Amino acid sequence: MRNVIAAAALGLGLAASGASAQAVGIATSNPGSLFHNIGTAVANAANAAGLNTTIQPATSPNQYLPYVNSGGIEFGVANLQEVSYGITGDAWWNGVQNDDIRVVGMLMPLVEAVFVRDDSGIRSLEDLVGQTITYGYTAQNTILPQYDAIFATAGLTADQFEHVSVPSVVGGANAFMAGEADAFIFAHGAGKVREADAAVGGLYALPVGASDDAALAAAREHWPTATFQELEAGSMPGVTEDATYIAFPQVVFTHAGVSDDVVYQMAKAMYENAGVMAETFPPFRAFRPEAMKGDPGAAEFHPGALKFFDEVGLE
């Protein structure tokens, strides 16, 4: 069934805008988060292409995905697994299906890690056992299964750590910086990670426990779209040597009622303005426009996006 939730009920503070080429909105998570950075970059690309685009922050995609589904705002950014669960009603959606969600285009993978202080002496997930991690994530349902996927690569479970409850990844980073936890989870490249790196005098990003096929299969038991990605030493805060981390696809999404023309323009803006996005948010250097038409899983591409893909010959 379609999940229609008013913005007032969500408490998002999202301003509805007409589905027109003149004014559109992109729902993002809170400032400092990866999806706020991504949404800002996509909005800049769209504005460079002539769309009047603004971002509208909320706590997390599991709050604003239903709002996009209801037509309250035109676009949103999230990881593909969360979008898929939101459409099918699986996992924390408890059978509620957001079946008007459509994909505009695939972005670069989200690469994630558990971070500790560089001077902590902790250099592996196994070393972290018995220490305090940020946990709970009551406003972001995606985080606990992502933790489980990371821990599974080392044959560990979340109950082998002490927990301090936080509502969101931004709240988790704040708790870590305040000395309330020994470790927190966040996406590489996010502004909040750079803030934490500066605040504590350096971070260390714990690699996955193992990066073989068995470890990946164990991770996918908790997060089905998980892959592994190696980052080079010095490429991100906390990456002090070449190391492997969990990664998974992320997307720009919309709802079925947005006009084909508006979605066509957004897809075209993303495809043609990769440089604008990379200038806004450097992790977009990994974005490949030719890969925008990837496998959307349980989702469907919006017809406006497919029209653009056909025009430029994306398979």
CA distance 42 to 54: 10
Sign of the four-CA dihedral 287, 288, 293, 295: negative
Statement to judge: residues 34 and 84 lie in one domain: yes
pLDDT band of residue 59 (cuts 50, 70, 90) is: confident
27 within a domain of the structure (yes/no): yes
User: What share of the chain has pLDDT > 90, as a percent?
Assistant: 91
Q: What is the pLDDT of residues 247-276, one digit of tens each?
A: 999 999 999 999 999 999 999 999 999 999
pLDDT at 22: 64
Query: Above 80 in pLDDT, residue 12?
Result: no
Same domain, yes or no: 240 and 216: yes
Q: Is residue 274 part of a domain?
A: yes
Whether 150 and 216 share a structural domain:
yes
93 plus 156 within the same structural domain: no
Contacts of 20 (CB under 8 A, 6+ apart): 259, 262
Confidence of residue 141 (pLDDT cuts 50, 70, 90): very high
Q: How many domains does the chain have?
A: 2
What is the residue range of 162's domain? 110-248
- Does residue 13 surpass a pLDDT of 70? no
Same domain, 22 and 81: yes
Instruction: Let me know if residue 1 belongs to a domain.
Output: no
> Same domain, yes or no, for 244 and 261?
no
pLDDT above 90 for 1: no
User: Which residues on adjacent β-strands are paired with residue 165?
Assistant: 135
Q: Where residue 154 sits, what CATH number does that domain have?
A: 3.40.190.10
279 has pLDDT over 90:
yes
Does residue 11 register a pLDDT over 80?
no
Q: Please tell me the pTM assigned to this model.
A: 0.89
Residue 29 is assigned to a structural domain of this protein: yes
- 160 and 182 in a single domain? The answer is yes
286 and 163 belong to one structural domain: no
Are both 121 and 243 inside the same structural domain?
Answer: yes
For the segment 60-74, what is each residue's pLDDT rounded down to a tens digit? 898 999 999 999 999
What is the chain's mean pLDDT, rounded?
93
Residue pair 225/270 in contact by the 8 Å Cβ criterion = no
Q: Does residue 4 have a pLDDT over 60?
A: no
Q: Establish if 47 belongs to a structural domain.
A: yes
The residue type of 118 is D
**Residues 94, 162 share a domain:** no
Residues 73 and 127 in one domain: no
Residues 6+ apart with CB under 8 A from 281: 37, 38, 40, 41, 189
The pLDDT value recorded for residue 248 is 95
Residue 2 lies in a domain: no
